[in-house]
Amino acid sequence: MLEIEDGRVLLIHHWDTDGLCSAALLLDYFGRDDIDTWTPLLGTFYLLPEHIKMAQFYDHVIVCDMALPAENIREIAKNTRVTVIDHHHQDPIEEIEHINPVAHGASGDSYPSNTWVIKEHLSIPLSLKIILGYVGDREQKIMNNPPFWMQTQEYLEQEGIEFDDLLELVYRIDSSYKVGEREAVMKAPQQLREYETREDILANKEWAENLRKLEEKLEKVLSEPPEVVDGVQVKRLDTSYAIISQVTRKLAWGTGEDTVVVNTGFFPDQDQLYSRSNIVDMHKLIERAKKYGYNAGGKKDVIGAIIPKTDTERFLAETIEYIKENR
C-alpha cells in the first residue's frame, strides 16, 4: 500500500482529467487537508531548476500521471522521498518507489488510465472519477477495450446517462488547462475530491464558461481541413489554447487516418507536435525524440513532443516518414 510521510507532502499531477481525478483519488485516500497540489508549466513535461529546488523542501513528493524525466526525479530524490504513480511508457526508475505496471512490462490496454493504476494498487472501489480517468485518456477508443467498455456500459445504464455525457464531464474538467488557467488546474484536485456525482461537476460555473470558449475555438480550427502529406493528415495551429491533443484526437478518430498536428503559438521559443495513429507503434519515435534532447512522451498510439522552433519542420518530416515506414 502507498503510505505518506507525516511532514510536508507535495502532489505533482498532470493537468488533464486523468491526472486531476488521480490526484483527487489520492487526496481522498490519504485523508489529509494539508497536501499541496501542483502542476508544471502547462504543456511542459519537465521541471525547471527552480521547480526541483521547491520540491526538495518537502518530506515526500508524489508524481501522479506524469512521465517526468528520470533526471528530474533523481534530483528531487537526493533530498526527499519520491513516489511516482503512472501508466505511461517509460523505463523503471529503480532508486525510487515507482508504481507503473506499464513501465514494468504490463500492457497499456490493461491500464488505460492512471486512475486505474491507483484503483488496483490501493484496492479502492470503482467510482465516477476512476471512469472519467480512462474515458478522458481514451475517449471513444475505450469502446475497443472490452473489459473497460463493459464496465462503462454498466455504469451508464445504472446512472441512466449516455457516453457523451461522460465526455462532456471530461471536457469541463479539462477546460481549465486548455484555456491556460494554471492556478485553476492546481485547485481542481481539491474540488474533485469533494465531487461525487455528475451533477457536482456540471455545477462548476467556471468550467462551463471555459468549455463554451473552447468549443468556439475548436469549431473554427476544425472547420479548416488539414493538408494530406504522403497519406498523413497534417494540421498546423497557432494558438495559446492547449487544444493540440483534442484537435489530434478529433482528426484521427473522426477519419481513422494517421494524423500529425503542430502548434506554433503555445511557447515563445518552442513548438508542440502531437501525433496519433491507429496502427503505428510510436514507442521508437518517442525514444528517438528523447535522444534528440526533446521533451517527449506518449503511449503506443500517440507521441507528444516539445521541439525547438528551428527543429520543427525537420522533425515533422521525420514523423511523417516514420509513420509511412511503420504502417
- Rounded Cα gap, residues 322 and 232, in angstroms: 11
Domain annotation for the chain: domains and CATH numbers: 9-205 (3.90.1640.30), 224-325 (3.10.310.30)
C-alpha to C-alpha distance for 46 and 316, rounded to whole angstroms:
22
Euclidean distance between CA atoms 295 and 46, whole angstroms: 7
Tell me how far the alpha carbon of residue 65 is from its chain's centroid: 7
pLDDT the model gives residue 6: 87
Contacts 24+ apart (CB under 8 A), 278-286: 278/252, 279/327, 280/322, 280/323, 280/326, 280/327, 281/326, 283/89, 284/322, 284/326, 285/319, 285/322, 286/89
As a whole number, mean pLDDT of residues 103-123 equals 96
Task: Place 83 in a pLDDT band, splitting at 50, 70 and 90.
Answer: very high
Asked if residue 1 has pLDDT above 80, the reply is no
- CA–CA distance, 231 with 246 (Å, rounded to integer): 21
256-289 tens-digit pLDDT: 999 999 999 999 999 999 999 989 999 999 999 9
**Phi-psi group of 43: left, alpha or beta (phi > 0 → left; psi -120 to 50 → alpha; rest → beta):** left
What's the per-residue H, E or C state across 212-254? HHHHHHHHHHHCCCCEEECCEEEEEECCCCCCHHHHHHHHHHH
What would the grid cell of residue 231 be? 497519406
pTM over 0.85: no
| Lowest model confidence (mean pLDDT) among 43-52, 209-218, 293-302 | 293-302
The model's pLDDT over 207-228, given as tens digits with 9 standing for 90+, comes to: 999 999 999 999 999 999 999 9
The per-residue pLDDT for 34 is: 96
Average pLDDT over residues 80-86: 97
What number is the average pLDDT over the span 114-139? 97
pLDDT at 5: 81
Residue 90: the pLDDT is 87
Q: Residue 43 — very low, low, confident or very high, per pLDDT cuts 50/70/90?
A: confident
pLDDT for the residue numbered 246: 86
Q: 297 pLDDT exceeds 90?
A: no
Q: If we measure between CA atoms, which residue out of 109, 29, 114, 106 comes closest to residue 67?
A: 114
User: What residues contact residue 53 under an 8 Å CB cut-off, 6+ apart?
Assistant: none
Strand duo 259-263 + 270-276: pairing = antiparallel
Asked whether residue 45 carries a pLDDT value surpassing 90, the answer given is: no
Distance of CA 15 to the CA centre of its chain: 7
pLDDT, one tens digit per residue, over 88-97 is: 988 999 989 9
**Across 182-208, average pLDDT:** 97
Nearest to 247 by CA among 273, 208, 281: 273
